[in-house]
Amino acid sequence: MHRLIIQTEAMLYEFRKRIPTDCKTAKSIDRNDPWDRVATFAKDDGFLEIAEQLVKSKYQLLEQTH
């Protein structure tokens, strides 16, 4: 479980460095929003791959905790 969290946060960190500071996704990451909220903004901004990865990570985490 912890490994998934660390990997997802590292993915977000690397992604954040490559996107414009003024987009909704960047602001959401900077606020440390929950993954599903970041995914919503990413989808709106056209970053579909990262949005899908965040949703997938969230559901994997939920499966591991139940």
Q: What is the pLDDT of residue 1?
A: 74
Residue 22 CA to residue 56 CA, distance in Å, equals 26
In single-letter form, the type of residue at position 47 comes to F
Element (H, E) at 34: none
CA neighbor of 18 nearest in space, from 45, 52, 55: 45
pLDDT in tens, 14-52: 999 999 999 999 999 999 999 999 999 999 999 999 999
pTM for the predicted model, two decimal places: 0.90
